[in-house]
Amino acid sequence: MIQLTATPASALVDEPVHIRATGLSPFQVVILQASLADEKGNLFHSQAYYKANEAGEVDLQQAPSLGGDYIGVHPMGLFWSLKPEKFLMKLVKKDVVNSPFLVQIKLYDSNLQLTDIATTAPKVSLTLERWYVAPGVKRIQVREGPLRGTLFLPPGEGRFPGIIDLFGGIGGLIEYRASLLASHGFVSLALAYFNYEDLPAQPEKTELDYFEEAVNFLLRHPKVLGPGIGIVSISKGAEIGLSMAIHLKQVTATVLINGPNFILGIPQVYHGQISKPLALSPQSLSINALGLAEFQHSFEEARREASETSLLPIEKAQGHFLFIVGEDDKNLNSKVYAEQATQQLSRYGKNNWTLLSYPGAGHLLEPPYSPLCCASEISSLHLSIHWGGEVTPHAAAQEHSWKEIQKFLRKHLVPVVTSQL
């Protein structure tokens, strides 16, 4: 009898699952398919062909996919190769606490026509729960003064390293990365800064005082270890994260994922002092063959003409930096910007940085096993944007960088206690 097993059947989305099929004929070729529906009912699916061994087993930790959405030995390939049925759709978890994503794994005969899969019953199937929050993590809505966001507290006694989680130019409140970091022992503040509740829909400036208030709010919390906090940031959020590290001595560990080393779009204001953005060059915007906008060269003309003073003075930061770069980023020329920032630090005799650069990875680097979103529609811009990335190397980058982010944050936020003899 054919059996399909997956261990564990319920886990965090960044945890691997061991999938096995048994009871097959020796050397039988089968199709394994994964599918899920997001909270709006949008469907995502993936599939791969596998050949059983002489014992009639397919073990995804050892068996290579022969074809389909990926090729080779990839135990979690069915998860990170999930693709939307509707083009330009990104998989996003809104309610991180009350429900998991349900992933169905199905096994079919390989002689089945792909067009018939939707109307054919699988030989065997199972359903997995993929959670964005661990048991015991508390979610607290933050509406303190001007601050808007969500605080996630890890379970257990004692104090934990604190981080602020910043996303980019789509705005709103995005919680799934902060909830996962809390599941791994960080007090995490998912911070909204525009297009949410009573925050401006399209702000005319970035007020760094708001982010300073968020840092002080976090450090006042009795569960936060202190004396410093960390930042995890991407894209426009990384511009703000970099500025926070420069201006706020309480920021001691900053993760910058595919961000600029200058100010994007709108001015920054801190304690009344205005810093101007670099101008976007509309003529440098590219539209590819699929009609997707690519912005990665849109600031090059301004950068060439700008003086060194137009770049953020990263050398003034007291804390440490982890730059994470997808080399196939089509939205920002992020590898060049990160290299320029690290060269700037080196010129000032600083070695407080690490640069991780991933060939084939795109702009939207997410927690492990998240599907690649290579393009999506941004309604506020009335554009469909190409984010870049190739499925397999992007997945490898996500898995590696997530571990490095947590190691980096712990190293610089958790004091080392040395015993005194």
pLDDT digits (tens, 9 = 90+) for 87-144: 899 999 999 999 999 999 999 998 777 666 777 899 999 999 999 999 999 999 999 9
pLDDT in tens, 39-83: 999 999 999 999 999 999 999 999 999 999 999 999 999 999 999
Confidence of residue 419 (pLDDT cuts 50, 70, 90): very low
275 is catalytic: no
- Please compute the mean of the pLDDT values over residues 164-191 and round it to a whole number: 96
Tell me what pLDDT residue 140 has: 98
pTM: 0.95
Share above pLDDT 90 across residues of the chain, in percent, rounded to a whole number: 84
Mean pLDDT over each residue of the chain, to the nearest integer:
94
235 is catalytic: yes
How far are the Cα atoms of 250, 259, 321, 343 from residue 350, in angstroms, in the given order? 18, 20, 11, 9
Q: What range defines the domain where residue 87 resides?
A: 3-131
Residue ending a domain, among 104, 131, 158, is: 131
Q: Do residues 144 and 125 both lie within one domain?
A: no
Q: Do residues 32 and 69 both lie within one domain?
A: yes
How far are the Cα atoms of 4, 36, 64, 135 from residue 127, in angstroms, in the given order? 10, 10, 22, 20
In the set 74, 165, 329, 401, the catalytic residue is: 329
Tell me what pLDDT residue 376 has: 92
Q: Do residues 232 and 253 both lie within one domain?
A: yes
Q: Please give the tally of structural domains in the chain.
A: 2
Helices (H) and strands (E) in the chain, counts: 7, 25
Render 219-261 in DSSP notation, one character per residue: HHSTTB--S-EEEEEETHHHHHHHHHHHH-TTEEEEEEES--S
Residue 287 has pLDDT above 60, yes or no: yes
Tell me what pLDDT residue 380 has: 67
Q: Do residues 87 and 160 both lie within one domain?
A: no
Q: Do residues 86 and 165 both lie within one domain?
A: no
In the set 81, 179, 188, 235, the catalytic residue is: 235
363 is catalytic: yes
Tell me what pLDDT residue 252 has: 97
8 A C-beta contact, residue 47 and residue 68: yes
Tell me what pLDDT residue 327 has: 98
Tell me what pLDDT residue 344 has: 95
8 A C-beta contact, residue 13 and residue 370: yes
Q: Do residues 146 and 119 both lie within one domain?
A: no
Q: What is the CATH number of the domain that holds 215?
A: 3.40.50.1820
